[in-house]
């Protein structure tokens, strides 16, 4: 007897769809810290039954993207100062290493692409679009890190991004940003110059300064 694949399973497909949509929403800061979700609300929004909604939430709780209280309440995490410092330290370890591994493959096409994305970041800043800014900012970093050819390390970095998404939205409002990230320009300049120490420093500063401001 053939075992039906997950892709052909309506429940599995619905679960994947809900999981990916919620995961993207959380990572891009489209939800506030501590924002509550209900299985009924998720099911109604996505047109699915309780089973795929519950499975999607279970996966996101396991990844740290959602918090499940002892009473069963589901919400986006409200990160303590200690947790923020820990996640900032993880970014400081992972992302400079990813950028360093990407540097030998940072050809002109990649640098041109990063400059285009950074222009998009500037547009989101001008519009005061916090989720759009976070999305474009992560696209900038992911585009660079994909050249590292280190999928396990990138997956770890994305898990951190997922956990801090709602907090990054709060950070954006606190900073009242009016210009794109200064260190993006330093990252691009270091890539052009083949400057590995400068690249690592620019990436480390870019990805940690905001989180450490919140943690302080």
Per-residue pLDDT of the chain (216 residues; tens, 9 = 90+): 334 444 455 556 888 999 999 999 999 999 999 999 999 999 999 999 999 999 999 999 999 999 998 888 999 988 888 998 999 999 999 999 999 999 999 999 999 999 999 999 999 988 888 899 999 999 999 999 999 999 999 999 999 999 999 988 877 766 666 677 889 999 999 999 999 999 999 999 999 987 776 665
Residue with tokens 């109604």: 44
Say what the pTM is.
0.88
SS3 content of the chain, % helix, strand, coil (to 5): 75, 5, 25
Instruction: Give the 3-state secondary structure of 127-138.
Output: HCCHHHHHHHHH
| Confidence at residue 186, expressed as pLDDT on a 0 to 100 scale | 97
Cβ-based neighbour number of residue 41 at 10 Å? 12
Are 114 and 144 spatial neighbours (Cβ–Cβ below 8 Å)? Answer: yes
Cα 158 from Cα 126, distance rounded (Å): 26
Instruction: Give the 3-state secondary structure of 126-173.
Output: HHCCHHHHHHHHHHHHHHHHHCCCCHHHHHHHHHHHHHHHHHHHHHHH
> Which neighbouring-strand residues pair with 75?
36, 67
**Domains contained in the chain, CATH given:** 6-75 (1.10.10.10), 81-215 (1.20.120.530)
Contacts of 184 (CB under 8 A, 6+ apart): 114, 118, 121, 140, 206
| Confidence at residue 93, expressed as pLDDT on a 0 to 100 scale | 96
Residue-level length of the chain = 216
| Confidence at residue 11, expressed as pLDDT on a 0 to 100 scale | 54
Cα 166 from Cα 26, distance rounded (Å): 6
| Confidence at residue 2, expressed as pLDDT on a 0 to 100 scale | 39
CA distances from 161 to 18, 65, 203 (A): 19, 9, 15
CA distances from 27 to 19, 43, 110, 133 (A): 12, 20, 24, 12
């Amino acid at each position: 007897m053939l075992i039906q694949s997950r892709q052909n399973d309506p429940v599995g497909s619905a679960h994947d769809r809900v999981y990916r949509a919620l995961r993207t929403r959380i990572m891009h800061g489209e939800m506030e810290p501590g924002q509550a979700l209900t299985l009924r609300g998720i099911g109604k929004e996505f047109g699915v039954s309780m089973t795929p909604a519950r499975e999607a939430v279970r996966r996101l709780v396991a990844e740290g993207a959602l918090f499940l209280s002892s009473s069963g309440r589901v919400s986006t995490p409200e990160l303590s100062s200690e947790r923020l410092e820990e996640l900032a330290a993880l970014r400081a370890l992972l992302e400079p290493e990813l950028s360093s591994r990407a540097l030998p493959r940072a050809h002109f096409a990649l640098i041109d692409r990063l400059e285009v994305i950074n222009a998009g970041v500037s547009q989101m800043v001008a519009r005061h679009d916090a989720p759009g800014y976070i999305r474009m900012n992560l696209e900038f970093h992911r585009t660079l890190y994909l050249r590292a050819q280190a999928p396990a390390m990138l997956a770890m970095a994305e898990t951190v991004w997922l956990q801090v998404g709602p907090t990054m939205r709060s950070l954006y409002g606190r900073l009242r940003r009016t210009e794109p990230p200064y260190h993006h320009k330093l990252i691009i300049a270091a890539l052009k110059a083949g400057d590995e120490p400068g690249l690592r420093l620019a990436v480390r500063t870019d990805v940690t300064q905001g989180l450490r401001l919140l943690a302080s």
